[in-house]
Chain A
Amino acid sequence: MAITEKTPLELGPGDTARYAERPLGVFTRPQEGRGWRDWLSTVDHKRIGILYGASAMFFFLVGGVEALLIRLQLAAPEGSVLGADVYNQVYTMHGVTMVFLFIMPLAAAFANYFIPLQIGARDVAFPRLNALSYWIWLSGAIFLNTSWIVGGGGADCGWFCYSTNSGVAFSPSHGVDFYAIGLQILGIASLVSSVNLIVTCLNMRAPGMTLMRMPVLTWMLLITQFLLLFALPVITVALFLLMFDRLFDAQFFNPDAGADPLLWQHLFWIFGHPEVYIIILPAFGVVSEIIPTFSRKPLFGYEFMVFSGIAIGFMGWGVWAHHMFVSGMGPISVAAFSLSTMFIAVPTGVKVLNWLATMWGGKLRFTVAMKFAVATVAMFTIGGLSGVTHSVAPADTQQTDTYYIVAHFHYVIFGGGVLGLFAGLYFWWPKVWGHFLNERLGNWNFWIMLVGFNLTFGPMHILGLQGMSRRIDTYARGYGFEFWNMAATVGSLLIAVSVLIFMWNVVKSKRDAPHLPPPGPDPWDARSLEWSIPSPVPTHNFDTVPQVHGRDEWWHSKYAENDEGQVVRVATTEEAAQTGEATGVHLPSPSFWPLAVAVGLPLIGYGLIFNLWLALVGALLTIASLYSWAMEPVDDPDAAHDHHEEHHEAGDAEPDDEGDQP
């Protein structure tokens, strides 16, 4: 299955990946089915997307409980809910969980599910690698959290885990070991996934889908994958050094052995700042799909949107040291990074105005998805502007490491990233599940979350400017921190309520679905290709691979502009949409080996920490699984074609009858 083929998954008609015997014998390849076991072996990008999304929502609850514990501890001065030691673990794991186990995998869920659909492909370029990245991510996530049970507590060094505080002398439990190894495992998952999705975007697009015709969500996700590809190796190096320092006395970060503790900070933030854009760009993409749909207008300035995304992707590499303005760098370095930080505000500002221009003159229909999307723009604007205020390096010497920064990045990550992804959940839910999320509950979800969010993080601006430090487990009476901390805690409880409403909405919508009219392929009268196929999406995605003629291909197959520039309908949704009834589409076969490879990695991790023999077992399992994977036949065309005698030849991989229809 060479990726140079025009439509590599178009192996012609045949039954869906079904076959009887394996000539090689030992490594029997599983069959696609509907039971729970099939989720373990699936290579379907949609199922993997759902797995990512469901796991991410689980860890959202874990991170959310950690957040509530933080807020309860800080609700009043001299709080005693957690105590200093546990507090440090909880706030560290809150950050790590929300970044690595919630937002990133939730964005990965969108990327997995929608990139192939938006570019008109039947799967990603490397389906088994896709499964591998999910299972490795899950094994890393579980590994990281088992440190609560077997590691003597979570990491207690903050998500940034600055040297030298991360050393064994200062953090003697195994928490930081779990952090160092767990994040390396998660990093492998993201790297595998980024390569896969980049190749998918570059090689799997439907005929006519040029790069500048790709939907903006796909564009932003593609940029995100490039950021992951280049950022993760940097943090991996740093984590590797930290791991060797802690487990094998390597002295990379020991100042008494001549090391410079600032090295860690540079490595961490060279990863850490692009990471911010890894978190926010997918949400930008989601918003760029939703606002046009519910404004009944195309996205204003597609080219500016795409290139400002690319500009953010590039400039994001040149701003990392703004996290270190007070670390003692020289004034020239400080000035340079201060300037680069300021100018990254330009492409982000352009995006905000382009979204507003999209709404301008439109017909704005405020579904829950649209509310979340517009709120994302509004809240991100606040976060972006508070970022500008401390891009001024001297001002930052007053603001850094205070709650002002906590407020800032929560407005960016929660206000921008999380609200944006919630917009996406409400928007694409009918596409994925074949029923809507309840709009009435959605409204409650939205308003309570918006108010709770602002009540939690708005006051933190004031607290920070009043001098409240970050990462403190308690504060004394009399510093003027009491009122707003209590307000923030009340706000966090409101966010918790809104999340519970969302969960209830998921359950209730599913329960009510049989009594409600199905959404059909295109419930929002939307614009991109995923709306041209049935909801839920059939296993093979597209009956026939679409031929793309321009941006918003699906919209243009429903509407055209007449001579006066008015929009006229040229086809109903039912006429234009695919039925999903094609049979015998050739699809990649499932495999258990990605799961087996992934199981070996945490064993290596536990082994490195507790007993090297266990690491050997884990390594053998991983290597053996990789070998088995390699030996597993890529596919079985004979079996796949067993209902189509006219296609019995194994080499029949280039169909002429599909994929090129006008």
Chain B
Amino acid sequence: MRTSRPLNRVLAWVLLLFVAAIATGCASDAELDTFAPQGPIARELHSRGVLPVFWIAAVVFVGITVAMVWLIWRHRVSSYEGDDQWPAQTHGHVPLEVGWTVGFLVTMAAVAVLMLWSLPTVDATEANTMEVAVDGHSVTWEPTVVVVGNQWWWEFRYYFSDQVDLADLRAHGDAKTLPPADIVTSGQMMIPTGEEIELIITSRDVIHSFWIPALNGKRDAVPNRFSPWKIEASDPGFYFGQCTEFCGLSHSRMRMQTVALSPADFQAWVDDTTQDATEPTDPAALAGLEVFSGICTSCHVIEGVNDDVFERADQASGAAPNLTHFANRSTFAGAIFNTYNADGSLNRVQLEAWLRNPGDLKANYTVPGEQYRGMPDLDLSEQQIDDLVAYLSGLGARPADWIIEASQVE
């Protein structure tokens, strides 16, 4: 029944945990850390929106906890046995209570001001433009990427020649039949540094949420709704993300990455990626193209191969990633696997395992002949898998070494 010793022990525990928490919180190498902003939007959001209210909460927490511990220490008795003395019977004290009501009101008003001060950092948009050369002629691009959530991967669409804005897409209203884009890629979004990138976020099936913690907070991707968001990176770098709205079976394996490139590197990437797919030459890759045309084209598209005949796949999501430049992304399968090993070689083992039976690696849902969500088991032979790997690994230029290196999460 004596409470002091266990109490001390628990307090020691709490203190220890607190110290450990601070230590690991600061020292950890967490790719999705929300306390490590890497661009001006995220930095402002962090310094105005997050940190001040954490300090206010910490002060109130310490105040209440200290008061409570003091009260317990000061006023505790072990028993009422034989004690007829009752303490002064205070029923309340209106000025005091009005005082702390007003105190809380003022505190919360301060928090409210902080909120109103930080809200524009995530909501205001800049009218920035940059020059991008597409097919030999220069266009003035308002940096915008249309972000489309699908079960369980992200599509990124770049419009240079026929630029679209939020109003256009809202008028269009349908995420399943978006206007044709100059670049359609998935899993890995390339952006130029130093530019505010407007994102127009939507979904083809269920609600997802797009989140690159280092560059900004998150925004939901709601089917047939088009929501504005923005990100900006100060320096070239590799920034991880994770779908944060529960979106069904493989929600946990729906990830994404944003790679910020210097404007020159971004231009080079645009030059590569606006081309049609590389024509295969070696026999294995040619055989792989055969397999692709026979099987994969019912869901996937490769520009120059089946974009002219492609009709949306018979699946709930209505689409699968565009593979035209498969090899110039350092990730595949919804950004859960690396396309290349740390030494720069093709991650053949993973790619083959994926083609062998995707459902083993990423839960999917299939009713044969009716519905597919996630890539189904295609029952490919080992020969077909080898050929497909030969074909896919030749599609597009290999990304820069630093990108391949940054993709490795250890």
Binding site for B on A (CB under 8 A): 83-85, 88, 156-158, 162-165, 169-172, 255-256, 260-262, 295-298, 300-304, 326-328, 331, 334-335, 338-339, 342-343, 345-346, 349-350, 352-354, 356-357, 359-366, 371, 374, 377-378, 381-382, 385-386, 388-389, 391-402, 439-440, 443, 447, 450-451, 454-455, 458-459, 461-462, 464-481, 483-484, 525, 559, 561, 565-567, 569
Contacts and interface: CB of A to CB of B under 8 A. Distances in A.
Contacts of A439: 1
Interface in B221-262: 222-225, 227, 240, 242-253
B206 interface: yes
B36 to A, nearest CB: 9
9 contacts: A88-B248, A88-B251, A327-B220, A328-B201, A465-B34, A472-B251, A472-B252, A559-B86, A566-B86
B198 to A, nearest CB: 14
B87 A297 contact: yes
Given A343-B108, A363-B83, A474-B252, A298 B21 contact: no
A7 B373 CA distance: 64
Give me the 6 closest cross-chain CB pairs, A-B, nearest first: A397-B217, A467-B32, A328-B227, A480-B30, A472-B252, A567-B86
A451 B13 contact: yes
A256 B175 CA distance: 10
A466 B409 contact: no
A42 to B, nearest CB: 37
Contact of A300 (B92, B116, B206): B92
B252 A339 contact: no
A334 B112 CA distance: 12
A296 B90 CA distance: 10
Contacts of B207: 162-165, 261
A398 B50 CA distance: 9
A398 B92 contact: no
Contacts, number: 336
Interface stretch (B65-73, B289-297, B375-383): B65-73
B249 A476 contact: no
B105 interface: yes
B53 A400 contact: no
Contacts of A400: 218, 244
B245 A335 contact: no
A302 B90 CA distance: 11
B49 interface: yes
A399 B34 contact: yes
Contacts of B30: 466-467, 479-481
A158 B251 CA distance: 12
Contact of B123 (A331, A361, A398, A443): A331
B21 A462 contact: yes
Interface stretch (B54-62, B133-141, B322-330, B390-398): B54-62
Given A394-B122, A440-B1, A477-B409, A84 B89 contact: no
Contact of A478 (B34, B71, B336, B410): B410
A398 B201 CA distance: 17
A157 B245 CA distance: 11
Given A365-B76, A454-B14, A469-B252, 16 more contacts: A84-B249, A156-B248, A261-B207, A297-B88, A356-B68, A357-B96, A371-B3, A382-B61, A392-B115, A398-B50, A402-B244, A469-B243, A471-B252, A472-B242, A473-B252, A480-B29
Interface size class of B (residues with CB under 8 A): 35 or more
A366 B76 contact: yes
A339 B112 contact: yes
A444 to B, nearest CB: 9
B71 A346 contact: no
Contact of B409 (A350, A364, A478, A483): A478
A317 B78 CA distance: 43
B105 to A, nearest CB: 6
A554 B261 CA distance: 75
B206, B250, B253, most chain A CB atoms within 10 A: B206
Nearest to B365: A172
Contacts of A366: 3, 72, 76
A385 B83 CA distance: 38
Contacts of A260: 225
Contacts of A462: 21, 24-25
Given A170-B205, A328-B220, A352-B64, A374 B10 contact: no
A261 B223 contact: yes
B309 interface: no
A297 B91 CA distance: 8
A221 B33 CA distance: 41
A216 to B, nearest CB: 13
B3 to A, nearest CB: 5
Contacts of A567: 86, 89
A346 B57 CA distance: 13
A398 B36 CA distance: 11
Contact of B6 (A304, A335, A447): A447
A386 B32 CA distance: 20
B48 to A, nearest CB: 8
Contact of B31 (A343, A440, A479, A483): A479
Nearest to A474: B252
Contact of B115 (A328, A394, A440): A394
A300 B218 contact: no
B176 to A, nearest CB: 8
A359 B223 CA distance: 53
B218 A255 contact: no
Contacts of A374: 68, 72
B128 interface: no
B28 interface: yes
A299 B65 CA distance: 20
Interface in B84-109: 84, 86-94, 96-97, 100-101, 104-105, 108
B322 to A, nearest CB: 22
Interface in B109-161: 111-112, 114-116, 118-119, 121-123, 151
Nearest to A360: B71
Contacts of A88: 246, 248-249, 251
Nearest to B176: A256
A82 to B, nearest CB: 11
B90, B96, B219, B316, most chain A CB atoms within 10 A: B90
Contact of A443 (B1, B65, B79): B1
B62 to A, nearest CB: 10
Contact of B65 (A359, A378, A478): A378
